[in-house]
A = this chain, B = another copy of it.
């Protein structure tokens, strides 16, 4: 053993805000609010978050307590995050687009006693608390609300709150957050983030070839804080000293355009449908967004036509990405302004993430490049075990099976080709709906396309196509024509269903569970 070495520096998440408060005190968190903007510097936000920790401590929150939040992307939600995590409690984010029954089941699992809720979500919060009787109190942020024995406004408590609650006084492997997957298939499972895992995730995303966030950036975080940590941006943006721009509740095109202009946003981060809404608003009004330079997209396949329209109309470079709740959530991100960028290519893993293609049984494919396989992942911010489960979520070699189908090209770039659970079995052979969706979705007249299996007496399942159209005049033959010669003839859907609006899951992805429930029976 060698005597003498380097300083101890536990990787705890409070350090991001403390660093921002000291080194970027005037850099701002900007929240869209009542048609205007609420602005605060990191130094002042840090003081407020310290006071929120004091309020929480007064209410009995301590290291290891779970505190639930039911809130939009807002300054007060960021304050609550740092207050909860800084003192060593665990922030359990709830998705307001789920039902009270679903949310209550999660809150019962996490044993949260306190629920922090946006004022306009108080009715839902009350219904959750009625069902999850462990929740003794609702702390209301983002506006005043009617108070009673259960619901208390946070703001009036701040001035008298103690500001000396210790932050970071726990091991770096302590849990910091809890997020239940609200996947499009299967039952929700809880993913427990730790300080260390989210700290290392943050350092990964800050790299020049990943999200490359700079102190000169203003980052519009449309991806919700209630879903997979808003892709870690409430950590990464203060860590870099950038401006964190939060949309609050409203993420329609007009609201986002107004916010991008007012907050001089340089980087936007969100799912593809969000940017489609922005694009359609801009096309309707003729507005421009001169400060915007990059869009980072993920969470759903990026239609090539949409990517091309966004780049042409906004003058931005789009960065595609792939991730999931179990990955904290970033897996791969295409580098900024890559001349070779393509809508279907999600970048390569940065240091800290490793990928493996296997067969359906989890055996590694002998050839890992230019073949399709089942995608497994390993790394510093990848789930090892779901909340409350005894069995690991990983295989014997430490790999987590994502459920995605993928190729990795010769250059090492990831191309997601589908979801294993979405595959359609027709006559004993597999059909990959994602391939069909990609081809039909590339038609400029198609807003969204989904392919599901419909039960079939003869074949077991047969594919059908569901579309939301931008040009209603399109015929079935027009829609199916591009498939001929590009997929096997028996992959061509048996039927086309036109929907006025594609149903979306709470994460913004197409809700295939609902589509299968409504259209899956012959």
| Contacts from A to B (Cβ < 8 Å) | 1-9, 15-16, 19, 22-24, 64, 66, 90, 173, 175, 178, 190, 192-194, 196-197, 200, 203-204, 206-209, 212-216, 239-241, 328, 335, 348-352, 354, 378-390, 394, 398, 400, 412
Choose from B23, B400, B412 the contact partner of A23 (Cβ within 8 Å): B412
Decide if B208 touches A6 in the complex (CB within 8 Å): no
Q: B240 and A6: CB pair below 8 A?
A: no
**Most chain B beta carbons < 10 A, residue from A328, A378, A412:** A412
Query: When the two chains form their complex, are residues A384 and B6 in contact, meaning their CB atoms are under 8 A apart?
Result: yes
User: Which listed residue (B19, B22, B349, B387) contacts A2, Cβ 8 A?
Assistant: B387
Q: Are A4 and B387 neighbours in the complex by a CB distance under 8 Å?
A: yes
- Across the A-B interface, the 4 shortest Cβ-Cβ residue pairs: A9-B380, A6-B197, A4-B385, A208-B212
Contact B207 A173, beta carbon cutoff 8 Å: no
Measured between beta carbons, the chain B residues less than 8 angstroms from A384 are 4-8
Residue numbers in B under 8 Å from A207 (CB-CB) = 203, 206-208, 240
- Inter-chain CA distance A335–B382, complex, in Å, is 30
Residues of B within 8 A of A7 (CB): 197, 378-384, 394, 398, 400
A23 touches B348 (CB 8 A): yes
Complex contact A6–B214 (CB within 8 A): no
Chain B residues with Cβ below 8 Å from A240 are: 207-209, 350-351
Known: A197-B6, A209-B240. Contact between A335 and B214, CB under 8 A? yes
Query: Contact at B385–A354, with CB atoms within 8 Å?
Result: no
Contact A380 B6 (CB under 8 A): yes
Q: Please name 4 further chain A to chain B contacts, defined as beta carbons within 8 Å, in addition to the given A5-B175, A22-B354, sorted by A numbering.
A: A5-B173, A6-B194, A7-B378, A7-B400
- Shortest beta-carbon distance from A77 to chain B in Å: 22
Interface contact A90-B335, CB-CB below 8 Å: no
Cβ B335 vs Cβ A388 within 8 A = no
Cβ contact within 8 Å between A386 and B192:
no
Closest B residue by C-beta to A192: B5
The answer to whether residues A208 and B197 also contact, given A4-B389, A5-B173 and a CB cut-off of 8 A, is: no
Which one of B203, B204, B385 lies within 8 Å of A5 (CB-CB)? B385
Chain B residues with CB below 8 A from A3, complex form: 385, 387-390
Shortest Cβ distance from A190 into chain B, in angstroms?
7
* Contact B6 A193, beta carbon cutoff 8 Å: yes
- Residues of the B chain whose Cβ atoms lie less than 8 Å from the Cβ of A215: 209, 335
On whether the beta carbons of A24 and B412 are closer than 8 Å, the reply is yes
Asked if B208 and A15 sit within 8 Å, CB to CB, the answer is no
A113 and B400 alpha carbons, distance in the complex (Å): 43
| Assembly CA distance A286 to B386 (angstroms) | 64
* Alpha-carbon distance between A381 and B6 when the two chains are bound, in angstroms: 6
The answer, among B64, B192, B213, for a CB contact under 8 Å with A6, is B192
CB <8 Å contact, B19 and A192: no
Q: Chain B residues near A175 (CB, 8 Å)?
A: 2, 5
Q: How far is the CB of A201 from chain B (nearest CB, A)?
A: 9
A216 and B178 CA atoms in complex are apart in Å by 37
Residues of B within 8 A of A398 (CB): 7
Give chain B residues whose Cβ lies under 8 Å from the Cβ of A23: 348-349, 412
